[in-house]
Chains A and B, each alone.
Chain A
């Protein structure tokens, strides 16, 4: 089955700096890669996703890049703000057959943005 590795496990930055979180996946058939943000005590919420037919996607201060050959994808947050502090999870999914929609999550990255 799919295995997703996420690094780093913790990340501390100053407000205004950029933050980068990286994930690798094992199954080359995976073709959907979402990122979820989870604030303390809250539910995970989708912040951005990318499909394997796209190399990069951007939404305001966040962007995701995908390298299918190397089987890794990254989340980039620019101009970080204290409200970006949360746990971020990457995930990978197959699209097709009965497994479609089944997400395998990385272990999470605790991002702390210091004012």
Chain B
């Protein structure tokens, strides 16, 4: 049963520190999404990649957030410097190439980030 994996599952850090979250998409999936979930804002799309190329990162604060896909098996989301308002659950999701049958996004377990 192939699944998206994310590390770390939990991260507590102090304001100003750098945070790196990692995601391994399901093998064969060419689209990777990063979402942030908070009680107030719900599920927000931060950025997404297709075939490792960034397609849209308009949901991401550019001054402190960056997202990359060094290779097809790894996506990273980095926050530098982190702030208390970044505290949230960050989900990665992956999907097969879009066609009439394959549209489902498969979510990872999430990284729960707490910035003190």
Contacts and interface: CB of A to CB of B under 8 A. Distances in A.
Interface in A42-89: 42-46, 49, 51, 89
Contacts of A46: 104-105
A11 B17 CA distance: 40
Contact size class for B? 20 to 34
A101 B95 contact: yes
Contact of A43 (B42, B50, B91, B98): B91
A95 interface: yes
Main secondary structure of the interface of B (DSSP, over half): strand
Given A95-B98, A101-B48, A44 B107 contact: yes
B56 interface: yes
Interface of B: 31, 33, 42-45, 48, 50, 55-56, 91, 95, 98, 100, 103-105, 107-110
Interface of A: 32, 34, 42-46, 49, 51, 89, 93, 95, 98-108
Given A49-B103, A101-B98, 5 more contacts: A34-B104, A89-B43, A95-B98, A102-B55, A105-B44
